[in-house]
Amino acid sequence: MNEEIKSSNLGKVIAVSLSDKHTFSKENRQSIKLVKGLGVEGDAHYGSTVKHRSRVAQNPNQPNLRQVHLIHSELFEELKNLFTIEPGQMGENITTIGINLLELPTDTILYIGKNAIVKITGLRNPCAQIDNFKPGLLKAVLDNDDNGNLIRKAGIMGIILQSGEVKPGDCIHVELPPKPFKKLDRV
């Protein structure tokens, strides 16, 4: 993990999306409302307990650590020679620019827009559904580091600590947790 991450990182929201159904892609909106302890109002994954189908099948009483999904638009740029991907199409609620989301440690706090506060819980673990959207995309969003450890590049997940409206153009301020940093893992 990069110990040089600055706590004053500023990024921006370039798109916000939601879907009230369990669809892979989400529809872009002018704004979304993040609700403390529940997630994105109107989204299929809204609630205090887990809503992702595979996790509900395992234990429907698990806490929802995946209330909001963020993807860095730089991923779309990285994949542009193989795939054309627009914000919301990979199922994220918030598409960002200017922050290396994957390098943030667990428990990082994101202040988004005027009021919303999100606590990062971990990495999105992409599943085979991603290949139904674009064949070969699953392999493209997975990689290995120099030690052979799996790298998941399909975004990060978080919980809502404070409610607020989020819209394109909103600034994102990053506040790192106390050291030692805990590397993001799948949630």
Name the average pLDDT for the chain: 92
- Domain 10-175 belongs in CATH node 2.40.33.20: yes
Using CA atoms, how far apart are residues 100 and 108, in angstroms rounded to an integer? Answer: 12
**pLDDT tens digit string along 36-92?**
999 999 999 999 998 877 777 788 889 999 999 999 999 999 999 999 999 999 999
Q: Could you tell me the pLDDT band of residue 9, with boundaries at 50, 70 and 90? A: low
By the 10 Å C-beta count (0-12 exposed, 13-18 middle, 19+ buried), 52 is classed as: buried
Average pLDDT estimate for 93-99: 97
The domain segmentation of the chain, as residue ranges, is 10-175
Centroid of chain to Cα 94: 7
